[in-house]
Structure 1
């Protein structure tokens, strides 16, 4: 309080009630893989906001007349998977992504090393980028690498892995592949099959005086395109909407055609299918994580909780070191409740009233005297997330004259 020495009226601004919580971004992807150029960016997460910026820094898929060894051909395909996936991310609605260029796709390069702040490589380097919410490693289907990616997402708790299945895997192989992956709380989702898309290829042939850009249709892993659908759905509907029954823009063909009968087994085993429908195009036709716990079965539920948890964490940083008394508890409760009411009004939570959609408790029932003595403020939040209508059942009966009586 200031000093008052001159008689008069003094106006002071004070804070009462909670502070507003702003929702965090949920649509920033991170791509890990090899690129045509950009050695100066190696193992440095680099923000990209457009396809042209990616080309400028990391190059396209390059075609030359040189005869390539098997190793060189494999690397060319790895570059193709990476560049085409980033292109598909932006084409399908993505706006921002980080590129982590690595020297090769071995486990040691993709996962990287944890050398401490500023010295982390590969996947570890993304621990320093809080903005990332989607992890993509296009075409990387090695089980040990994917397991490490899932572990990274579970550790960070603010991102989900979008994973691929090997290109030539049949439907039974796809189910067996996913059975070898696990995440109890659903920090990963798998998509199948591979997709054929037009790929921008930089052509440098002997008779040409300058480089040409041509389109070549190739099969690529779907993860980058699906990540773009995540971003588009978040922007148009919100993170609570399942990123399914959404068109995959730019896809001309699927590696395998999937029927309703095929999808029964695939869906039951948490393989998200990509399907082609006459007159409706190619669509993402699955919204499941690989979670064994049914509470985290759906991608949108997992991502909604990630969004709420991180938004609250960042939105109540002002609470730290404030006097831990009832006035503070009430302000925290008000801040979180106001944020959740907005989500409920936007359709992210179940219930016809806020009381049915969530609860927030921050009082003597959530904290013991020992908690308070040791500087702990404990707030309990419960929410009822909206789950997707995965199976729509319409029951139709024949109305007869006798039934009318």
Structure 2
């Protein structure tokens, strides 16, 4: 408020409002989920915008015993994530076809800056499935072709990041549009049993947090 007690001299305190929070793009997670049976809420290959972990539970129910998607999304929100897209992949087709369709569904979304597909690692449990590196290369190609997003990928689940298999994996995935992360983490599943998961979900939140601090998106 201006103080004009002294003729010709005026003093006014000005308090600037804090700047609005800077929002980066939104990370996207692709993977397998059970669904809740409600039409439109758990649709396959339809990106769903979530702002809380309970929203995932409401839409997709209990996670599959062999999946990683739910744990990655939960880790994202528990570590401070604000919002993300989730794409439920089709288990009725091969992993390669399912991932291709899921990535196609993400392509029109301009606000996405990080892409994480943790259930790619399910391919390691079934030799008949597509190779992990083939699936991860598909995610990298998606990011490179669009040019505005970065892939967050997991190493193979090994005791050390320097095994021959992991070194070969890093070399085959060399790209400026993505990176692979180690180590794997051990968390509890809904029944309280230990469950190993890749580091990608935590890394997504770490990168999102760094972008917020630096004021940079994309």
Q: TM-score range by the shorter chain?
A: 0.7 to 0.9
1:387 match: none
Question: Structure 2 vs 1, CA of residues 84 and 221 (structure 1 numbering), >3 Å: closer, same or farther?
Answer: same
Question: Structure 2 vs 1, CA of residues 233 and 217 (structure 1 numbering), >3 Å: closer, same or farther?
Answer: farther
2:85 match: 98
User: Shift of residue 229 of structure 1?
Assistant: 1.4
Give deviations 1:277-336, integer Å, cap 9, x for gaps. xxxxxxxxxxxxxxxxxxxxxxxxxxx5x63xxxxxxxxxxxxxxxxxxxxxxxxxxxxx
1:238 match: 214
SS at match of 1:76: coil
Structure 2 residue corresponding to 1:29, chosen from 27, 35, 52: 27
Question: Structure 2 vs 1, CA of residues 234 and 146 (structure 1 numbering), >3 Å: closer, same or farther?
Answer: same
1:156 counterpart = 2:146: yes
User: Shift of residue 143 of structure 1?
Assistant: 1.1
Question: Structure 2 vs 1, CA of residues 232 and 60 (structure 1 numbering), >3 Å: closer, same or farther?
Answer: farther
SS at match of 1:190: strand
Give distance in 2, aligned partners of 1:137 and 1:58. Answer: 16
User: Shift of residue 128 of structure 1?
Assistant: 1.3
Q: In structure 1, list runs of 5 or more residues that go unmatched.
A: 1-22, 62-74, 113-121, 202-213, 240-303, 308-405
Structure (1 or 2) with the larger CA radius of gyration: 1
User: Shift of residue 125 of structure 1?
Assistant: 0.6
Question: Structure 2 vs 1, CA of residues 24 and 123 (structure 1 numbering), >3 Å: closer, same or farther?
Answer: farther
2:32 touches 2:69 (CA, 8 Å); kept in 1?
A: yes
2:31 touches 2:119 (CA, 8 Å); kept in 1?
A: no
Question: Structure 2 vs 1, CA of residues 111 and 91 (structure 1 numbering), >3 Å: closer, same or farther?
Answer: same
Give distance in 2, aligned partners of 1:90 and 1:215. Answer: 20
User: Shift of residue 139 of structure 1?
Assistant: 4.0
1:42 counterpart = 2:34: no
SS at match of 2:156: coil
CA RMSD of aligned residues (A): 2.3
Structure 2 residue corresponding to 1:77, chosen from 63, 66, 71: 66
SS at match of 1:94: coil
2:199 match: 222
1:125 counterpart = 2:105: yes
User: Shift of residue 233 of structure 1?
Assistant: 2.5
Give distance in 2, aligned partners of 1:146 and 1:231. Answer: 21
1:176 counterpart = 2:173: no
Give distance in 2, aligned partners of 1:50 and 1:94. Answer: 8
SS at match of 1:196: strand
Give distance in 2, aligned partners of 1:146 and 1:169. Answer: 21
Q: In structure 2, list runs of 5 or more residues that go unmatched.
A: 1-20, 122-131
User: Shift of residue 148 of structure 1?
Assistant: 1.2
| TM-score, structure 2 normalization | 0.75
2:32 touches 2:119 (CA, 8 Å); kept in 1?
A: no
Task: After TM superposition, list the pairs within 5 Å mapping 1:249-288 onto structure 2.
Answer: none
Question: Structure 2 vs 1, CA of residues 32 and 106 (structure 1 numbering), >3 Å: closer, same or farther?
Answer: same
User: Shift of residue 153 of structure 1?
Assistant: 0.6
User: Which has the bigger relative contact order, CA under 8 A and spacing at least 6?
Assistant: 2
| TM-score, structure 1 normalization | 0.42
Task: After TM superposition, list the pairs within 5 Å mapping 1:4-403 onto structure 2.
Answer: 25-38=23-36, 40=40, 41-61=43-63, 76-78=65-67, 81-104=68-91, 106-112=95-101, 122-141=102-121, 142-168=132-158, 170=160, 171-172=162-163, 173-183=165-175, 186-199=176-189, 201=190, 214-235=191-212, 237-238=213-214, 307=218
User: Shift of residue 93 of structure 1?
Assistant: 1.8
User: Shift of residue 217 of structure 1?
Assistant: 3.0
User: Shift of residue 234 of structure 1?
Assistant: 2.6
2:35 touches 2:60 (CA, 8 Å); kept in 1?
A: yes
